[in-house]
Amino acid sequence: MRTGAPVASATLATGPLRRWATLLTLIIAGEMAFVLPFVIARVFRPTLLEVFGLTNLQLGTAFSAYGVVAMAAYLLGGPLADRYPARGLITVALLTTALGGLGFAAMPGVKLLTVLYAFWGLTSILLFWAALIRATRQWGGDAAQGRAFGGLDGGRGLLAAVLASALVAGFAWLTPGSPLDAGVAERSVALQRVILICTALTVLSAALAWGLLPADPAGGQLRGASAWNGLAQVCRRPLVWWQALIVVCAYVGYKATDYFSLYAADVLGYDAVEAAWLATLSFWMRPLAAIGAGLVADRIEGSRTLIGGFALMALGAGVLATGNRLPGATALLAMTVIVTSVGVYAVRALYYAIMGEARLPLSVTGAAVGLVSVLGYTPDIFAGPLFGYLLDGAPGVVGHRRMFAVIAGFAVLGMAASMVFRRLRPVVTQQTPTTRA
């Protein structure tokens, strides 16, 4: 058996109905915290650039501001999650993130937009991220880490796919006439209304978190200096550093999903709605890939499943990096998006589930999440400006070819890091079916 400290004794919620209500609440909260900062830009990127008067580099710089603030927030938020209950942390995080949505709907200029993204880097990370991951690990117990994290990310993906589809349909309905023929003013009003809808939904998710999450779930076990001592403890674990590298490579791949709609618009000439529907196809792959990867991981272990996911990511990104315009080959483009997305979302679902294989104690999960995140999510700082530079420096097919070549390279690196993690993990000879995550 390869496992961490026992988790089952600290199960997040008791009773089947309460347990599944808790997971459903974590899923909703886990996705709604990032709809305003990321989902809108991912689905409506061409429209967002036009309405806000931005270049790819400027929007990438705003994402970078989010990432810079998030780096400190990840590190500080980990010990907070080990000390305080998740219900209060998650609720406050969602309410403050929704507050930023009101500023987003005001269509700010590039400077204020950058400040807004920095604000979101604080609200959606400091009180939220480590608490969410720690609560999910505790929900899974000893036997179901793959299902816990696969269910979390798969459920988030299903919610994102449904929400993205509804937002695209709503945007088309709110835009007078054909979206292709509508002027900037009409598209601006439609996008503003979409932002306000997402803001209201974020507030509702905060109310749901407060009402349905247990009053004293994952946090609250470590007090005072002991919560910060956990950070020193996890720093001495080499597998935590390898896990951080895995997250870096996986997250670069995840950033690629922001550009599927732009690829369709710039390379294939799709209109705003057609490009958004292609991006939405990627959203629908997330629940299938994440839940499937979680089930597979509980049978063959998460590290092995990660290797396969990175291989699919490298394959799909490599095809896009060839630079073929694929004239008339809509089905081939869709298949490439599907393969890339399956790889991306499989590794995304599992890169925290492998904490069990590293035999990491539950009591320092928040600290470990903080350390892994502060390193693993550095793509929030460098990926946006890098991809923006590549795309703006060589508009059209050349820029996209270079960008996807970089993504394929990170996928190969992630596959190698997963192999090293698997080689170095603690091995206990007696095999039992409890935890294989």
Highest mean pLDDT among 62-71, 117-126, 146-155, 370-379: 117-126
- Model pLDDT, residue 434: 36
- Model pLDDT, residue 4: 40
pLDDT tens-digit map of 223-242: 544 556 777 788 888 899 99
Domains of the chain: 12-424 (1.20.1250.20)
**CA nearest neighbour of 164 among 279, 335, 331, 85:** 279
Mean pLDDT computed over 315-344: 79
pLDDT tens-digit map of 276-329: 777 778 878 888 898 898 888 888 888 999 999 999 999 999 988 886 655 556
Q: How confident is the model at residue 60 (pLDDT cuts 50, 70, 90)?
A: confident
Residue 128 has pLDDT above 80, yes or no: yes
Q: What is the mean pLDDT of the chain?
A: 82
Burial (CB < 10 A; 0-12, 13-18, 19+), residue 168, is: buried
- Look-up of token digits 């978190």: 209
Buried b (16+ CB within 10 A) or exposed e, 187-201: bbebbbebbebbbeb
- CA-to-CA distance for 281 and 181, rounded, in angstroms? 24
- Model pLDDT, residue 210: 93
- CA-to-CA distance for 225 and 66, rounded, in angstroms? 28
- pLDDT over 90 for what percent of the chain? 29
- Look-up of token digits 């990867």: 293
**Token pair of 362, please?**
């539950």
- Whether pTM > 0.75 for this model: the answer is no
Whether the CA torsion 104, 108, 114, 115 is positive or negative: it is: negative
pLDDT tens-digit map of 359-372: 887 777 788 888 89
Residue 260 has pLDDT above 80, yes or no: yes
pLDDT tens-digit map of 33-55: 999 998 888 888 888 888 898 88
Q: How confident is the model at residue 77 (pLDDT cuts 50, 70, 90)?
A: confident
Buried b (16+ CB within 10 A) or exposed e, 62-77: bbbbbbebbbebbbbb
